Amino acid sequence: MVEPSFSERENEGEWAHQPVLVQEVLVALGCQPQAKKIYLDCTVGMGGHTEAILAATAPEGRVVGLDRDEEALALAEKRLRPHRDRIILRKGSFKELPEISAELNLKEVDGILFDLGVSSLHLDRAERGFSFQKPGPLDMRMDQTQQETAADLIDRASERELADIIRTYGEERWAKRIASAIVRFRSENGPITRTEELEGIIWRAYPAKQRHGRIHPATRTFQALRMVVNREMTQLEAGLEAALSLLAVGGRLVVISFHSLEDRFVKQMFKKWAMQEPRRFINLYKKPIQAGPEEVSRNQRARSAKLRSLERAA
């Protein structure tokens, strides 16, 4: 039996999305009313940041919104219907940004936003399999047309590969123990196909004294598997490179990350670009912008959010 760890909601299936650092995003992008500017939201999700950008730049500002999740795009389209004359939505990943911009004849934009990680749509829908807090299929695909799921990854990967994934992408101290437990369970019981199965395996693999820390033992492993299933770091690198080539002079690139691996990567990329000669880019913030206590009290997801911004100066 899996040890208790699931906190069931009273109204299963109901969810709400609160975008993080909304005002900070608007400032970082330099949004102003009546400005005839074009913005690119590369992670439109359910449209929270996009809606705020459209409101802040009304009536002239326009937004192109991308997402690889068709369900998210459908919800965003409904939410953004009042602004339909100023919004274009497209399904696509970060790596597809050059093709999408060419299709739309989008040569340069004034602001670009990446809001990394997962949304409430993913975490609160049990059938999407992103959360260890909800029993469901071990899926984790942001793009449901993609073939490989988290269950497929766990089934094919060797113990060493699993340990490397969990250590590298989850920064998990007990990666080797967890990988060994997964492979042992797999060999004795067959494929691991459910979130609650994997959560229980990780719980039992963790040293007993370490099970009740600040975060649940399964957090880092689920994060690592999600990142690999969706090729998030590869997508991020390609997306940032493509975004940089689209920025107009004075345009700003804004990235919100939610864990140290992503934030370190963005920090390094921004630093590299800002130091290149001739100096074409300016790092706007010496330290990342983070949510204040009031926002964190309203939205716990904001606690780990870090915002960085880069401006094209020439």
CATH code linked to domain 22-120+232-312: 3.40.50.150
pLDDT, tens digit, for every residue of 255-291?
Answer: 999 999 999 999 999 999 999 999 999 999 999 999 9
Q: Indicate the class that CATH gives domain 147-229.
A: mainly alpha
Give the pLDDT of residue 35. Answer: 86
pLDDT, tens digit, for every residue of 60-72?
Answer: 999 999 999 999 9
Nearest alpha-carbon partner for 218 in 236, 243, 239, 192: 192
How many Å is the maximal CA-CA distance in the chain? 64
C-alpha distances out from residue 187 to 150, 181, 223, 286, Å: 17, 10, 24, 50
pLDDT higher at 34 or 218: 218
C-alpha span between 36 and 103 (Å, rounded): 21
Give the pLDDT of residue 4. Answer: 35
Nearest alpha-carbon partner for 1 in 199, 172, 147, 164: 199
Q: Where are the domains of the chain?
A: 22-120+232-312, 147-229
pLDDT above 90: residue 2: no
What are 290's strand-pairing partners? 306
The residue type found at 265 is F
Give the pLDDT of residue 8. Answer: 33
pLDDT above 70: residue 9: no
pLDDT above 90: residue 149: yes
- Whether cis (ω within 30° of 0) applies to the bond prior to 33 is no
How many other CB atoms are there within 10 angstroms of residue 43's CB atom? 23
pLDDT, tens digit, for every residue of 176-203?
Answer: 999 999 999 999 999 999 999 999 999 9
The answer to whether 255 and 307 are in contact (CB under 8 A) is yes
Give the pLDDT of residue 7. Answer: 32
Whats the size of the chain, residue-wise? 314
| Token pair in block for residue 208 | 């007993």
C-alpha distances out from residue 136 to 44, 91, 133, 194, 203, Å: 25, 25, 9, 6, 17
**Where do runs of H (alpha helix) occur along the chain?**
22-29, 48-56, 70-79, 97-103, 120-124, 150-156, 159-170, 175-189, 195-205, 219-229, 232-246, 260-275, 293-298
- Whether cis (ω within 30° of 0) applies to the bond prior to 207 is no
C-alpha span between 252 and 108 (Å, rounded): 11
Residue 252, φ and ψ in degrees, nearest 5: -130, 140
